Amino acid sequence: MALRNVVKMGDETLRKKCKKVEKFDENLWVLLDDMFETMHKNNGMGLAGPQVGILKQIVVMEVNGAKFEMINPEITEQSAETIDDEEGCLSVPNTNGIVARPKEITVRFQDRYGFYMVITGEDIFARCVCHEVDHLNGILFVDKMKKKS
Ligand code: ZN
Give catalytic residue positions: 132
CA distance 44 to 87: 11
Residue 1: pLDDT band with limits 50, 70, 90: confident
User: pLDDT tens for residues 16-53?
Assistant: 999 999 999 999 999 999 999 999 999 999 999 999 99
Distance 140 CA to ligand 1 centre (A): 7
CA distance 48 to 132: 6
Kind and range of the H or E run holding 128: helix 124-136
Distance 89 CA to ligand 1 centre (A): 4
Distance 63 CA to ligand 1 centre (A): 14
Distance 28 CA to ligand 1 centre (A): 20
* Residues whose Cβ atom is located within 5 A of ion ligand 1: 89
